[in-house]
Amino acid sequence: MSDRIKILRKAKFPDVVLAGQPILSCLQDKDNAAGCFGGFSYMVYQWVQENGLTDNSCSMYQARGWTNGLNCTAESICQNCSPTPSIQHGTCEAVKNYDKWMVTGY
């Protein structure tokens, strides 16, 4: 989908790199055969059509999904992390308003 957006935008800077993490965290099929266990590509397009997808700056890829501990939460869809001097890893919170990329058909 990122490549299709690049073509549509005529390679205008900056590139749009769609986030894969919401797919791993949120997409489940009736047989629980999605997330980190694979699935079908049409299901990704269907999920994006229904929910929209953020870019990678909003949801960094963590190589985990709902099947191994990273459930579908507001933070897994879009979060903002701020460094805090007193805390080694900083703090993160869900973003309420963010851009989503959609598909109109698949």
Contact 34, 27 (CB under 8 A): yes
Segment 48-56 mean pLDDT: 93
Q: What is the pTM of this model?
A: 0.78
Residue 85 has pLDDT above 80, yes or no: no
In contact, 30 and 1? CB cutoff 8 Å: no
pLDDT at 88 over 70: no
pLDDT of residue 10: 95
Residue 22, pLDDT score: 92
Residue 29 has pLDDT above 80, yes or no: no
Dump pLDDT digits (tens) for 30-42.
665 566 677 788 8
